[in-house]
Amino acid sequence: MYYPLNLNGVPIHPLFGDFLKGKPHIFDFSSNNPKVLEYNLFDFKEFNDMIFEELDASSHQWGIGKYMEERKTFLRNCTNIIEEKRYYHLGLDIVVPYNTPMFSPLDAEVYKTGKETTVGNYGGYIILKHDINDVVFYSFYGHLKTPHLFNLGDKIKAGQAFAHIGQESDSGGWFCHVHLQILTQEAIDAGYTDWGYISPELLPKVELYFPSPYFLFKY
């Protein structure tokens, strides 16, 4: 058995509890959207305002950025990602306001926490380790408020608050949202723990290393 089949019949707690109402606005962060060229990664307020103005105009309360979306233009200021040609988004972005609390979808152990300080990176992040039906996998949450609420090795119960949405340096300069990503044990063993994007060459192995996060996201 493997993820997500190991989740069959397992209750999954909504990541944002009962906060999310209605359906999401679907953001287009792909290179097909010329508006992406207007985003300024080096001015958090301007960038964040643009995103939330679009959300407000959509009449939706919250939004998402898609898993496996091609984002070469969106990432144009992220030199290392561009050099490595890692343009395909490995997470699901859930766009909600600063300081919105998150609740663990499953029982978990804190595998890693940290903060990347460079603009364009994760800012605050936490990785939770799950062992469900004898299958170990990891859920990654990026752009979080720091200091973190939990430490390495702490146990977290399903439905327990474990993090809040960050901003500015805590979000790596990105707009307020969480990057939710799944990593398999194979991804951890291969040293891909901090990868949020993947190159075309590795796309055939995306299910082995970074399967879809949609199965874990409930609202």
In a domain, 145, yes or no: yes
Per-residue confidence band for 192, with pLDDT thresholds at 50, 70 and 90: very high
Q: Using CA atoms, how far apart are residues 39 and 131, in angstroms rounded to an integer? A: 39
Q: Do the beta carbons of residue 102 and residue 66 sit within 8 Å?
A: no
In a domain, 110, yes or no: yes
Give me the chain's average pLDDT, please.
98
In a domain, 108, yes or no: yes
In a domain, 184, yes or no: yes
Task: Write phi, then psi, for 201 (nearest 5 degrees).
Answer: -65, -30
19 pLDDT above the threshold of 90: yes
Per-residue confidence band for 29, with pLDDT thresholds at 50, 70 and 90: very high
Tell me the CA distances in angstroms from 9 to 12, 98, 192, one per residue in order: 9, 33, 29
Per-residue confidence band for 1, with pLDDT thresholds at 50, 70 and 90: confident
Model pLDDT, residue 135: 98
In a domain, 66, yes or no: yes
Tally of domains in the chain: 1
Structural domain boundaries enclosing 134:
5-209
Task: Write phi, then psi, for 70 (nearest 5 degrees).
Answer: -80, 125
In a domain, 214, yes or no: no
In a domain, 218, yes or no: no
Count Cβ atoms within 10 A of the Cβ of residue 176 and give its class: 0-12 exposed, 13-18 middle, 19 or more buried: buried
- pLDDT single digits (tens) 110-155: 999 999 999 999 999 999 999 999 999 999 999 999 999 999 999 9
- pLDDT single digits (tens) 164-189: 999 999 999 999 999 999 999 999 99
- pLDDT single digits (tens) 86-110: 999 999 999 999 999 999 999 999 9
Task: Kindly report the CATH number assigned to the domain that includes residue 47.
Answer: 2.70.70.10
